[in-house]
Amino acid sequence: MTALVLDGAAIAREVLSELKPRVAVLERKRIRPGLATVLVGNNVASLAYVRNKVRACAEVGVHAEVHELDIDCGEAAIMAEVAALNSNRDIHGIIVQLPLPPGVDAQRVLQSVALEKDVDGFNWCNLGAIVDGHPRLVPCTPLGVITMLERTSVPLEGTHAVVIGRSSIVGKPMALLMISRGATVTVCNSKTPDLGSHTRSADILIAAAGRAKLVTADMVKAGAVVIDVGINRLPDGKLTGDVDYEAVRLKAGAISPVPGGVGRMTVAMLVANTVLAAERAAGVSP
């Protein structure tokens, strides 16, 4: 069996093109959704991520601006930038690009983003709303995974989903979103003994550990849907996921590639969250 490849790039393009008419409705009210990115320092990976986000915004007519701060500007300067954006009426979404430099309390900065502009969904209130089953702004990567599964008509209700990784921005919200859709969810972490004993019973396996080729073919049930969230850089500079793609695709029923999978969905969901935030600010229903 060769798995169906879940083409994140194609689904992301579909999501972005569906945003255009919503942006047009706002434009008629003289509102242009605006996303501001606070970028501290010049981390090469961060610069590439920010470029992708700006490009995706431009595609659908969302205004995007990048506020670049010096690597040693200090926490107070970052907080001041966020505070100014919180009260800027032309900005509907704010993201603080991670990682922040050592010595800066990243949580304090992230939690200072206004709740209604928190398009990364990292604010504790937005995360808590998912727990309660009433999401407001959902972190882009788990939202991207759910969107990818739903748009590929993968049934979630009644399935056993295994999530590898329990971070607050990927693993935990991912598990909660699956629970709310009726999946039975197992969440594994780096201390889980015998990872394969869990993954082998997964109908849907979501790998978000940040460990290259952690998931091998013997850890996957035949026909399972395998979603690879991981982004790892190999010594030769190439990007790879957490899944041994070439071997697992011969056993899985469906698989998302890296690159061209979840990463593209994440960016599309950020633009979608920004449009949603602008609609809410304008009192327009999506």
Question: Helices 44-60 & 8-28, crossing angle to 10 degrees?
Answer: 50
> Can 111 be counted among the known catalytic residues?
no
Position 107: which residue type?
Q
Of the pair 31, 199, the CB lying nearest ligand NAD is at 199
Q: Contacting ligand NAD (CB under 6 A), which of 231, 255, 268, 277?
A: 231
Q: Contact, 78 vs 104, CB < 8 A?
A: yes
Q: Site for ligand NAD (CB under 6 A): how many residues?
A: 25
Whole-angstrom Cα distance, residue 1 to residue 66?
A: 45
Of the pair 21, 102, the CB lying nearest ligand NAD is at 102
What's the closest the beta carbon of residue 95 comes to ligand NAD, in angstroms? 12
Closest CA to 32 of 58, 51, 52, 68: 58
State the binding string over 165-194 for ligand NAD (x if CB under 6 A, else -).
xxx-xxx----------------xxx-x--
What's the closest the beta carbon of residue 185 comes to ligand NAD, in angstroms? 14
Question: Helices 124-131 & 171-180, crossing angle to 10 degrees?
Answer: 30
Of the pair 26, 199, the CB lying nearest ligand NAD is at 199
Of the pair 19, 145, the CB lying nearest ligand NAD is at 145
Residue 235 CA to its chain's centroid (Å)? 25
> Can 97 be counted among the known catalytic residues?
yes
Regarding 96 and contact with ligand NAD (CB under 6 A), the answer is: no
Whole-angstrom Cα distance, residue 155 to residue 168?
A: 25
Q: Contacting ligand NAD (CB under 6 A), which of 123, 263, 269, 277?
A: 263
| Cβ-based burial of 257 (10 A; exposed 0-12, middle 13-18, buried ≥19) | buried
Choice among 118, 120, 228, 244 that is catalytic: 120
What's the closest the beta carbon of residue 70 comes to ligand NAD, in angstroms? 25
Helix (H, G, I), strand (E, B) or coil at 284: coil
Q: Contact, 38 vs 69, CB < 8 A?
A: yes
Neighbours of 137 (CB within 10 A): 26
Regarding 85 and contact with ligand NAD (CB under 6 A), the answer is: no
Of the pair 154, 268, the CB lying nearest ligand NAD is at 268
Regarding 195 and contact with ligand NAD (CB under 6 A), the answer is: yes
Reported as type and span, the H/E element at residue 14 is helix 8-28
Scanning 65-73, 87-95, 122-130, 202-210 for contacts with ligand NAD by CB under 6 A, the matching segment is: 202-210
Positions touching ligand NAD (CB under 6 A) are 141, 164-167, 169-171, 188-190, 192, 195, 208-211, 214, 229-232, 262-263, 266
Residues serving a catalytic function are 53, 97, 120
